[in-house]
Amino acid sequence: MQRGQITKALSGFYYVTDESNTIYQTRARGVFRKQNLTPLVGDYVEFESGNISEGIIQNLLERKNELTRPQVANVDVGIVIMSAVDPDFSTQLLDRFLVMLESKHIEPVIFITKMDKLTEDQRQEIVAYQAEYVAIGYQIILTEKTVEMKKKQVEQIFKEQFGGKLIVFIGQSGAGKSTLLNVIDSSLALKTGETSKSLGRGKHTTRHVELIPLMDSLIADTPGFSSLNFDDIEQEELTEYFPEMWARRGECKFSGCIHLEEPKCAVKKAVEDQVIPKYRYDHYLLFLEEIRNRKPRYKKKGAF
């Protein structure tokens, strides 16, 4: 039995790359359909193949996570592209991305673009936000001014941190994601753009997801990030995805504290003491309300 990783899915075929970087065209066993399992790009698999064009995937190995848009599994890093201006920097949108990544156990790395368009006062405001997110434990990078400086900055980060990792790029529309991809590799934005266009939503549209090699990493670009609602998160879990709140869970009077109306809540005290930024807590309350107000999900007949 051979092992490899699915690096492309197209028209019912799965292209599996093995340790020697040989690519095999394979199909999935019919039993997967009966088990309601779908192989995803990023999956590690066991397969059998007499030659590189006729292989069969026999087993899907355990996933550590999966996304639905793009359909990709085993993501290591989520690079969040946020704009400093035009569109304006939004801590609420950033926190939505961070909660989604945290809930999937994907390491977030934040890039803030268009820093060269700011006044000095605006720049200081972004630098202050950077310090607050760094204090929480996030890596937040302010992009350099010139293309040459950006390229050197990004290449150094990739070289030092992302070797052998599967990465998704996410971010707000107009934040300069394609520009940043072009800085890294001028052909990359074109490739990922083509991938994004072919991620059709129609019933008869071919779905095409591909991992693109870059500096010892694999890039999966996404036009959106699944969805930015919290359908898969329960209200008791939300605090886990705010690291600065989760770190204080043992200091609250009640073990199941959700930091709302409970007395002697360590999180609310930290907000009062300005140890936790108030906007982070406000976003937590907003997301908590969304989770509490969502429509109930009913299990399909026969589901466990």
Rounded CA separation 275/295 (Å): 34
Task: Indicate if the pLDDT at residue 34 is higher than 60.
Answer: yes
Select the CATH number that applies to the domain covering 238-293 from these four: 1.10.40.50, 1.10.10.10, 3.40.50.12280, 2.60.40.10. Answer: 1.10.40.50
- pLDDT band at residue 195, thresholds of 50, 70 and 90? very low
Helix (H, G, I), strand (E, B), or coil: what is residue 202?
A: coil
Could you check whether the bond before residue 87 is cis, i.e. omega within 30 degrees of 0? yes
Domain range annotation of the chain: 2-62, 67-221, 238-293
Higher pLDDT among residues 27 and 207, named by residue: 27
- pLDDT band at residue 126, thresholds of 50, 70 and 90? very high
Instruction: Mean pLDDT check: name the lowest of 146-160, 269-283, 289-303.
Output: 289-303
Rounded CA separation 76/56 (Å): 26
Which of 187, 42, 170, 34 lies closest to 111, judged by CA? 170
Per-residue model confidence as pLDDT tens digits over 47-62: 999 899 999 999 999 9
The per-residue pLDDT for 204 is 33
The per-residue pLDDT for 244 is 97
Q: Which CATH class is domain 67-221?
A: alpha beta
pLDDT mean across residues, the chain: 86
- CATH code, 2-62: 2.40.50.140
The per-residue pLDDT for 42 is 96
- pLDDT band at residue 286, thresholds of 50, 70 and 90? very high
% of the chain surpassing 70 pLDDT? 86
Per-residue model confidence as pLDDT tens digits over 231-277: 889 999 999 999 999 999 999 999 889 999 999 999 999 999 999 99
CA distances to 46, 158, 242, 270, 274 from 248, in Å: 42, 32, 10, 9, 14
% of the chain surpassing 90 pLDDT? 60
Task: Indicate if the pLDDT at residue 136 is higher than 50.
Answer: yes
